[in-house]
Structure 1
Amino acid sequence: MPRDAIILGAGVAGLSTAVFLQREGWKVTLLDPLGPAGGASFGNAGLLSPDTVIPAAMPGMWRKVPGWLRDPLGPLTIRPAYLPKLSPWLARWLGETRLARVEANAAALHALHAPALEVWRELLGETGFRGLMRQSGQVQLWEGSGGPGALETTLRARHGIRAEALGPDDLRQLFPGISREVTRGLLVPGNGHTVSPARAVHSLAEQVLAEGGVILPQKALKLIPREGGGWSVLANTGMHAAEALVVAGGAWSAELLAPLGIRLPLETERGYHAHLPNPSIELRVPILHKSRGFGLTPMEDGLRAAGTVEFAGLRAPPDERRAAQLAQQAKRLFPDLEFGAPRFWFGQRPSFPDSLPVVGGVPGRPGLYLCFGHGHFGMTGGPPSGRMLAGAMAGRGMPAMDALSPTRFSGAVIA
């Protein structure tokens, strides 16, 4: 008799978990009020970064924060009314800038991210992978005297990541028409991107359905442990029960878990994108503009300028000016760039202070599993997380999950 599971969230993490559980012989039902790829899995920058090991919290990073905050449309903003609630998370984030924590977090990111392209190929098959994924590398850019720090260089070398420094002439050849303000670059050839995050995630949903899974457009309202084992989920238009429950609801996961006494330091790093149709330039390699905090990715229907971080909570209304500013940043990077009317998007990145997700079971809550908090790396870390979690639920040991345990946060409340 197959085992059964309910998965809350039909983004890249939830759907990847579903596919791998089905391949283990499980029956799967997914609940998501927005349907597949309805949130951050739709609007992200599409970057695939197996060779990314640098966490967001780095030594000295705090010194840049005041300058960022002075610009209301800069790469980071905190709405003043939200600061009291955000402060404990920020304190934990500062703690993660210690060298020992940075080195540990980088090692965990490497273990999680390194197989990302392999796992996507396993999920999509060779034909699907070739149609959606590009292994063309990524280029980081800086203006003025900016550049990768010594610690970043050391961490890349420690984990065997190739990176090639690019000077002004290299950048002009690779990106004709790029602004003269850009003076340095770094090519990471092992990274890549998808030409359509939404289509990639919808492909996972199609696989779940083709293998007998069920995806329902329902909102989970309460998680209820059942006497004798298993879980029930009270949703807005139904009640569901299964032996196992996987919470993969992104930034909304913490609210679902809090009534069970499970409190984790999850925040939402609200992000925006401006999709630029019919661009006048052809971009062959995605760009991460480190000096200005945004990325520019070539996709099948235009260029996507995405990025910035806004802390304002789950329910504050979006500020569309931040998306419009991304379109202007793209124009500043390529002064001759022309494009059609931009399309704006806003979404919620679920983030922990150490840049790592939680993946694994909850002590004291048999049958309850977590898979969320991938921050800026959902398209990279979501599929490997799903594969690891499915393996653990099938009874296999998954050592790489140890660093992703929900119990890793000191002072966090678990059951």
Structure 2
Amino acid sequence: MLHSPPDHNQPRQPHVIVVGGGMVGISTAIWSQREGNRVTLIDKGGPEDRASYGNAGVLASASVLPVTMPGLIGKIPKMVLSSTEPIFVRWSYMLRLFPWTMRYLSHANAPETRRIAAALAPIIGNSLEDHLALAKDTGAEKHISPCDFAFLYKDKAAFGGDALAWDIRRELGFEWSEHEGAARQSYDPIFTDKLGFLAALSGHGRISDPGAYVEELRAHFKESGGALLNGEVTDILQQDGRATGVMTRVGPVPADRVAITAGAWSPIVTKTLGVNIPVEAESGYHLEFWDPSFLPRMPTLVPTKKLIFSPMKGRLRVAGAVEFGGLKNEGQDKVFDLLRASMTEVLPGLTYSKETRWFGHRPAPTDSVPVIDELGSLKGLFLGFGHQHVGLTGSARTGQILAQLMSGKRPNIDLAPYRASRFYGSKGNSRPHSHTKRQRESV
């Protein structure tokens, strides 16, 4: 059989490596494929190791408010010292956490809250449509459902106590309905009558099984020609000021572009390049109650407890709580005890067949805004991490932006709020090093 000679005029298909296999990573990988790139996705963990697996499953477009709301500083002593508050700190980690905490708390004022919300809105504010576009023709679409996102308060006065947050949401175009007393009971009667006021934000979505959603997307990526590599990245290969691939524990993997989307582990990479991006590992928890006797109509947040009660396939997931203890933190039973006690209080009478638990790490930058950027000191190295509580929500849009940047396109969004250089200015100079050098830490 005669074969046509190779057409040397055809452009070579660029090779993109995406480091980190959670939602931001798989979104970046799929959108990069759609840009015409050959893509390798490298991930060192299993499905349950990812924050994408353990989130509340809400496409929470209106979750533009940071934890650092005005008044937070005065609440910290009670939050840290009380076992019934949703913030926990490992005392052995306090000294190491202190510099990050000071920068984090500097944003706990109204002007910064508005700035942060305005920066988050373009990334998460259209999340239902963003995920439908990502999941189109992948098999993962079946996990996405439009829904409201409810906030449940003791009464109208308690809702009024969050006036700044709701004013900002209104200014950014979000709409909601309000239900009080009997109307609240009618809207969703399963919650305790001690919580008598509900605000329901329209235009949101939910994922019925976040773990299965990610795995469906990964299967589509592989079926579309993507390469999956289970391994640890120990270094970034570079030559003449450009990233040329990654070093893994089994050897080098060359590439034309590299994207770091490894969540809370991502700063390990930038530190090896001489760039310190202040992202802390914020640990999160969830409990799942299987075969529940009833489920909420929609994902529902109880702001006083910082917990979301989320209906999922075959179970109720109660997700939330915040713990600071670093990447080596392995969780503690008292946080799960708090989630269980809160479920009993908020959903009296719920019965279930079994309980399962999850613990993982989320990437928390000091200013609560993700990094989405090409590293200025090393061309071809792109960063996408730091989404804190909204990683699932913002992953589809973030992956699309990174894929466009890596293809030399200009996304239709002002990228200034997401620049890595906001943390280090002109000091972020990567140091060149041998492609055979290995770092002690890896992602």
Band the TM-score falls in, shorter-chain normalisation:
over 0.9
Secondary structure of 2:165's aligned partner: helix
Pairing partner for 2:59 from 11, 29, 48: 48
Counterparts of 2:51 and 2:189, CA distance in 1: 31
User: Which one is further off, 129-138 or 203-212?
Assistant: 129-138
* Partner AA of 1:87 in structure 2: F
Aligned residues of 2:241 and 2:377 also touching (Cα < 8 A): no
Moved over 6 A (4+): none
Q: CA RMSD in A?
A: 1.9
Letter in 2 for 1:360: D
Deviation track 1:8-65 (CA, whole Å, cap 9, x = no partner) reads 1010001101111111111111111114564101111111012332222211122222
Give the equivalent residue in structure 2 for 1:32.
Answer: 43
1:359 aligned partner: 372
Superposition map of 1:291-330 within 5 A: 291-330=304-343
Per the alignment, residue 106 of structure 2 pairs with: 95
Task: Give the match's secondary structure for 1:276.
Answer: strand
Shift of 1:232: 3.1
- The answer as to 2:7 corresponding to 1:7 is no
C-alpha distance in structure 1 between counterparts of 2:28 and 2:228, whole Å: 13
Letter in 2 for 1:273: H
Alignment partner, residue 403 of structure 1: 417
CA drift of 1:182 comes to 1.2
Q: Which residue in 1 is equivalent to 2:197?
A: 184
What's the counterpart of residue 148 of structure 2?
137
Counterpart AA for 2:117 = A
Other-structure match for 1:277: 290
**Rounded Cα–Cα distance in structure 2 between residues aligned with 1:227 and 1:410:** 22
Distance change >3 Å, CA 118–CA 45, structure 1 → 2: same
CA contact (8 A) 2:281 2:324 kept: yes
Range 390-399 or range 341-350, more displaced: 390-399
Change in Cα spacing, 1:86 to 1:232, as seen in structure 2 (3 Å) is same
CA displacement at 1:127 relative to structure 2? 8.2
Q: Which amino acid aligns with 1:96?
A: H
Length, aligned pairs only: 415
2:265 maps to: 252
Compare 26-35 and 370-379 and name the one that shifted more. 26-35
SS in 2 for 1:291: coil
Q: 1:379 to 1:342 in 2, by over 3 A?
A: same
Whether 1:155 aligns to 2:161 is no
Q: Once the two structures are superposed, what CA deviation does each residue of 1:291-334 show, in whole Å capped at 9, x if it has no partner? A: 11111100012000110000011102221331232122111101
User: Secondary structure at the residue paired with 1:230?
Assistant: strand
Distance 1:400 1:146, change over 3 A: same
Q: Which amino acid aligns with 1:315?
A: K
For structure 2, the residue ranges without an aligned partner over 5 or more in a row are 1-11, 430-443
| Closer/same/farther in 2, CA of residues 179 and 47 from structure 1, 3 Å limit | same
- Post-superposition CA distance 1:337-392 (Å, at most 9, x none): 11122101100011112221101101110111000111100111111001011112
For residue 395 of structure 2, the aligned residue among 363, 382, 402 is 382
Letter in 1 for 2:289: L
Which of 330, 349, 356 is residue 343 of structure 1 equivalent to? Answer: 356
Aligned counterparts of 1:228 and 1:101: Cα–Cα separation in 2:
35
TM-score by length of 1: 0.95
Alpha-carbon separation, structure 1, partners of 2:242 and 2:322: 41
CA separation of 1:70 and 1:230: change in aligned 2, threshold 3 A: closer
The answer to which of 270-279 and 82-91 deviates more is 82-91
Contact kept in structure 1, 2:138 and 2:220, CA below 8 Å: no
Cα deviation per residue 1:269-296 (whole Å; 9 max; x = unaligned)? Answer: 1011101101011321111110111111
**Percent of aligned positions with the same letter in both sequences?**
30
How is 1:73-88 mapped onto 2 (pairs within 5 angstroms)? 73-88=84-99
Q: Which SS does the other structure have where 1:131 is aligned? A: helix
Contact 2:179 2:187 in 1 (8 A): no
Query: Do the aligned residues in 2 keep the contact of 1:46 with 1:193 (CA within 8 Å)?
Result: yes
Q: Please say which structure displays the higher CA radius of gyration.
A: 2
Aligned match of 2:122: 111
Question: How many angstroms apart in 2 are the aligned matches of 1:315 and 1:257?
Answer: 19
State TM-score, norm by structure 2.
Answer: 0.89
Structure 2 counterpart of 1:20 = 31
Match of 2:428 in 1: 414
Give the superposition deviation at 1:88. Answer: 1.6
Secondary structure, in 3 states, of the residue corresponding to 2:282?
A: strand
Structure 1 partner of 2:219? 206
> What amino acid is the match of 2:428?
I
**Offset from partner CA, 1:132-187 (integer Å, 9 cap, x none):** 11211111112365225221122112111102222132221222242132132211
C-alpha change, 1:226 and 1:301, in structure 2 (3 Å) is farther
Q: Secondary structure at the match of 2:291?
A: coil
Letter in 2 for 1:143: K
